[in-house]
Amino acid sequence: MKKEILNREEYKFINSSVNLGENLIYLTLSGSIGYGTNIDSSDIDLRGITIERKENMFGFQSFEQFEDKETDTVIYGLKKFVSLALKGNPNILELLGTRDEHIIYMNKYGEVLRKNRNMFLSKRVIHTFGNYATAQLRRLQNALARDEYPREEKEKHILNTINNQMKHFSSNYTEFPEGSIKLYIDKSNKQEMETEMLMDIKMDKYPLRDFVSIYSEMNNIVHDYDKLNHRNRKKDEGKLLKHAMHLIRLLVMGTEILNTHEINTYREKEHALLMDIRKGKYSYDDLFKLVELYEFDFKEASVKTTLPNEPDEGQVEEFLISLYEEYYNLKY
């Protein structure tokens, strides 16, 4: 399967892109295949790491990541990847803990990064995994409740969902001062609405690409709610169950990292449970009871963990510099 993927026409960009090709150091299967929760209709998600070209490192050109939406492929520049890993970003850390058989390509630079993955782990994962799990829980709760609420209540739920989502923006994007983005509900100027969500934004010299991504996340939440009148209930049910499955997976994986300092993306022990959740074998009442149990384990692990408060950024920086020096054969 691994060789087949790289030989497929739709993935030729991996070798042809100037930012990838020989600069690629790591490429792995991700998403449901990486977790072991894939079904026949699951897509192939590829994630990877590339070393920035000299033009990006020393010249005027910039590069953070390459994205091909048609194949759901994202390749991070090494510096961007390390920056997100230091923040404890779950979507980034899990790439270093995939099964060996899920690795599509890895050279010696990718291998040394993978072997040293523990240097990124700290108590920051309490907040990042916890916030990601909370976001999944909010989506699940809101989706179940929103059909019953009048529009004014739905606006409040959208607002709460976005505000909770914003709590983990700092682990994905450049941090911004508290209050830079203010969301609130007030009187609407639209005839069909008495009140609606409004926003005040005050940001100076903030990276445009990060802001576009933040806007996209908020827009996706609003868009999900605006599709209520056009819902395919069977399809929507599948999405809810997927949210529930990922909620449990995040709590389990976060608990394991806190307890063992190990990153295991493929959830072999919980595979049957996760698949039963995805297939709808649990009622929502039972699901919420499960969430309570796994949340208790996560909180207990958060108190007892021996992970450092923060990663040793000096050590990581030295590691990163030495890797770049060897790759570019730099001499001083």
Q: Are both 213 and 97 inside the same structural domain?
A: no
Q: Which pTM does this prediction carry?
A: 0.74
- Domain shared by 215 and 315, yes or no: no
When divided into structural domains, the chain yields a total of 2
At 26 the three-state DSSP class reads strand
Say if 196 falls within a structural domain.
no
* 212, 227: one domain: yes
Question: Both 134 and 36 in a single domain?
Answer: no
Same domain, 16 and 97: yes
* Residue range of the domain that includes 296: 124-170+206-304
> What pLDDT does 288 receive?
84
Kindly report, residue by residue over 162-194, the tens digit of the pLDDT. 887 887 787 778 888 888 899 999 888 887 778
Q: Would you say residue 33 has pLDDT above 70?
A: yes
Check whether residue 138 and residue 212 sit in a common domain. yes
Q: With a cut of 60, say whether residue 207 has pLDDT above it.
A: yes
- Whether residue 229 is predicted with pLDDT greater than 50 in this model: the reply is no
Maximum pairwise Cα distance, the chain: 68
The yes-or-no verdict on residue 43 having pLDDT over 70 is: yes
User: Is 134 part of a structural domain of the chain?
Assistant: yes
Burial label, 170 (beta-carbon count in 10 A; 0-12, 13-18, 19+):
middle
Would you state the structure tokens that stand for residue 144, as one six-digit string?
């179940």
Provide the pLDDT for residue 224.
72
Q: Looking at the structure, do residues 85 and 152 belong to the same domain, yes or no?
A: no
The answer on 155 and 53 residing in a single domain is no
Per-residue confidence (pLDDT) for residue 179, from 0 to 100: 84
Q: How far apart are CA 310 and CA 34, in angstroms?
A: 27
Reading the block at residue 125, the tokens are: 């994962």
Reported as a pLDDT band with limits 50, 70 and 90, residue 145 is low
DSSP codes, 144-194: HHGGGS-HHHHHHHHHHHHHHHHTTGGGTS----TTSEEEEEEE-SSTT-S
Q: 60 pLDDT exceeds 50?
A: yes
Q: pLDDT tens, 256-284?
A: 999 999 999 999 999 999 999 999 898 87
In angstroms, the CA 157 to CA 29 distance is 34
What pLDDT is stored for residue 206 in this prediction?
A: 92
On whether residue 36 sits in a domain, the answer given is: yes
